[in-house]
Amino acid sequence: MDPWTLAYEGFDPNEEGLREALCTLGNGRFATRGAAPEAEVDEVHYPGTYIAGCYDRLVSSVAGYDVTNEDMVNAPNWLPLTFATPGSGWFSPRTTDLLEYRQELDLRHAILRRLIRFRDEDGRITVVRQRRLVSMADPQLAALETTFTAENWSGPLLVRAALDGRVTNSGVPRYRDLRGDHLTAHATGADGDILWLRARTRSSAVVIALAARVEAGSPGHEVERDPEMIAREHTLELVRGRPTLVVKTVALVTSRDHAVAGPSETAVRRVRLAPGFEPLLERHRLAWVGLWGRARLDVDAPKAQRNVRLNVFHVLQTLSPHTADLDVGVPARGLHGEAYRGHVFWDELFVLPWLNLRFPEIARGLLRYRWRRLPEARAAASAVGLSGAMFPWQSGGDGREETQSLHLNPRSGRWLPDHSRLQRHVGLAIAYNVWQHYLVTGDLEFLADFGAELLIEIARFFASMARLDPGSGRYEIHGVMGPDEYHDAYPGAALPGLDNNAYTNVMTVWLLLRAEETLRLLPRRSYEELVARLGLDATETERWEDITRGMRVDFHDGVISQFTGYSGLLELDWARYRGVRRLDRELEAEGDSVNRYQASKQADVLMLFYLLTSKELEEILDRLGYRTEPGMILRTVHYYLARTCHGSTLSAVVHGWVLARCDRSGSWQFFTETLTADVIDVQGGTTAEGVHLGAMAGTLDLLQRCYLGLEIRHDGLHLNPLLPDRLAGLSLRIRYRGAELSIRADSGEIRIGRADDGPDTVAVTVHGRSTRLGRRESRAFPLPDETLPAAECL
């Protein structure tokens, strides 16, 4: 397998949606699915283009209710380009006699190539080669180059190029009862050889403009123009054996962009000034060379390498250095499709740790997206009588709660109440990322600027949710959901929500400790200013302190209970449901409810072992007055592992992580499952609706932080590698507090080198031995040949 190429042979209508998602090209500002340019939307093709942060809200009527949904808008389609040999209809891979068909994504240079060799009804054989890019260097530009070669004939070939604004959001079948007509006020026009199209989103009033320059050897003539669509046709005189080129260069500009006069005017100017395909490609290629240099992550596991790169590639296409300049968060499904409506969940918890160590500026931009939405989060907390900031489970344009109130179970056809907004733990993920970002960068200015405010307002919210139970003297948090979405209520309860979700409660303690630490770290002036601005007083911080010593955590059978009462739930007949990932849908369709069973969609309690070291967790439990029984962690891992069906791709990341030190082959199995989750569409149909960005980045983070045992502490970088047997070695480059470190680990040694002019020395501890690494210095550390006893593995 070529480690830089994702290739598909032959045309397969059943696979086209998946290929479109996986061959998406993007630059962190916008992305376009890898759809065939000649295809219109139908049950096989879905040519979507999505602009980071461009949302629109519509009201639909379903099941007798008015429901409001905000979607990441499918922008007008810039791709259309089709062709016809004399006397034949327009080319279509489904109806034309295909002699060869190959589609290839070049990950190194972010180019999508296509080769088509076809025969028309009169026996003419034509070869079509296409190269497509969405520029990483010029983030408003994209281009499609098509080369036609008549193999056994000469004569005219008709080429039709268009801009199409007749698109809607209709890429996800189960949302089709909801409105998706987000674009209005369409207009089209031509300015010399340049075509343009403009539309506006209905409620957010974002103007989106496309302009296209088509170089086809002749100006062509307009064949269609209505407000929603503009098309020109060009006749190419093909000469047998001689390649003839058509280049369509496109600018996409919105009213949200910087440096824009009017979107359509600016789009026309941008495309007029755009260079030809080769120079455009060269700049794009160089931008990617730079990105790959920073993102290098090489694994000595040939089968895994290509998919590792595919994950890096899609993460960077969604979140690039251009993103840092925008006001956007981490869309759970990338800019690759319409699932989850482009919303931002807690998935950034799995994404930022990887970015922090390579592209801290992108991570900071994403944290700023949250910080800018603090007013909305404060209002949400105060509306339910709490203080601080309550971030929404699903966030979009302005930071209000975007979670739908009803969702469709496609198995039963029923619309059901959706309580997933009770996943308050999203705030914990944001705070965890703030803290990690600070640890990696060591940047107090970041904390003083906005990091501390974000973390403290979240801490306040969680503290205000905690209520003292006078009977037990313990603090409790009621009415929430943990990450496991299969439990949203007690069986038969009138109200949704669960009490004392262990993940939420323990991480609240962790957060309050970090909040206290953050206040201590802040420079005096910033501290005073922040405390005054937030009205934070000693009574409040004393209460925090109290909570960190008195929070309730439940246990049963020597393991941590997912929530109070969990142990009283029934055991599921796993033999019957083995392999069913969407147990919630399955059981609901059978008239039952997954709430009745000890069955989880994804890691919940185990998230604690994912985010905290065993030492940190034990310290917290100890502080709360709970004794950690020997083997408790391992028992808990196995308990929940046996009761989880991995209905979320995030689950395998967490399980791969928590097994890394006690079951190396089990860990590797989860790692490979999550690594290939999108490529083989492990959930059977979901990838076509967008990649799973959290799992993609989480896999990369698993390699770096988990298998390298990389921990960032106040006193420097700590490494404690333990590679799975199947992973012979690992090489990567990270950025840590202004220094660039290249790390190479195999089973025998770890070598760490610096090639930067950053800080004089960097503190590194390998297997407990500390050293300081100077500029341009490189050091090898032998690794002890040891297998940790299972009981101490976490």
The contact set with ligand BGC (CB under 6 A) reads 332, 340, 345-347, 483, 485, 601-602, 648, 650, 694
CA-closest candidate to residue 328, choices 349, 350, 343: 343
Least distance from C-beta 393 to ligand BGC, angstroms?
8
Based on its alpha-carbon atoms, the radius of gyration of the chain, rounded to whole angstroms, reads 27
Contact predicate 82/132, CB 8 Å: no
Q: At residue 720, what is the residue type?
A: N
How far apart are alpha carbons 104 and 65 in whole angstroms? 45
Q: Which is nearer to ligand BGC, 308 or 351 (CB)?
A: 351
Task: Report the nearest approach of ligand BGC to the CB of residue 791 (Å).
Answer: 30
Compute the Cα dihedral for 395, 397, 403, 407 and give only its sign: negative
> How many helices (H) and strands (E) are present in the chain, helices listed first?
21, 32
At residue 504, the 3 state secondary structure works out as: helix
Residue 433: is it exposed, middle or buried by C-beta count within 10 angstroms (0-12/13-18/19+)? Answer: buried
Question: Coil, helix or strand for 204?
Answer: coil
Helix (H) / strand (E) element for 539: namely: helix 538-550
From 428, 416, 417, 430, select the one nearest 366 (Cα to Cα): 430
User: Directed axis angle between helix 664-675 and helix 302-318, to 10°?
Assistant: 50
- The CB-of-353 to ligand BGC minimum distance in angstroms stands at 16
Q: Give φ, ψ of 789 to 5 degrees.
A: -60, 140
By C-alpha distance, which of 254, 274, 347 is closest to 51? 254
| DSSP assignment letter at 154 | -
Nearer to ligand BGC, 328 or 723 (CB): 328
Shortest CB 650 distance to ligand BGC, Å = 5
Which residue lies nearer to ligand BGC by CB, 321 or 698? Answer: 698
CB closer to ligand BGC out of 145 and 347: 347
d(CA 72, CA 344): 10
* Nearer to ligand BGC among residue 346 and residue 563 (C-beta): 346
| Pairing, β 125-134 against β 221-226 | unpaired
* Smallest distance, ligand BGC to C-beta of residue 342, A: 11
Task: Give the nearest distance from C-beta 402 to ligand BGC in angstroms.
Answer: 12
Kindly tell me which of 11 and 340 has the beta carbon lying closer to ligand BGC.
340
Distance CA 292, CA 315 (A): 12
HEC readout, 58-104: EEEEECCEEEEEEEEEECCECCCEEEECCCCCCCCCCCCEEEEEEEE
CB of 370 or CB of 601, closer to ligand BGC: 601
Burial class of residue 755 (count of CB atoms within 10 Å of its CB; 0-12, 13-18, 19+)? middle
Report in angstroms how near the CB of residue 347 gets to ligand BGC at its nearest.
5
Whether 469 and 475 have beta carbons less than 8 Å apart is answered as: yes
Q: How far is the CB of 586 from ligand BGC (least distance, A)?
A: 15
Shortest Cβ distance from residue 62 to ligand BGC (Å)?
21
Q: Which is nearer to ligand BGC, 396 or 483 (CB)?
A: 483
- Would you please indicate which residues are annotated as catalytic (active-site) residues? 485
Measured from the CB atom, is 78 or 345 closer to ligand BGC?
A: 345
Task: Output the CA–CA distances (angstroms, integers) from residue 33 to 39, 113, 252, 531, in the order listed.
Answer: 12, 13, 15, 47
> Nearer Cβ to ligand BGC, position 55 or 118?
55
Cα 192 from Cα 219, distance rounded (Å): 9
Residue 2 DSSP one-character state? -
Q: Closest separation between CB of residue 404 and ligand BGC, Å? A: 13
Q: Please, how many CA atoms are within 13 Å of residue 40, restricted to the half-sphere of its CB?
A: 8
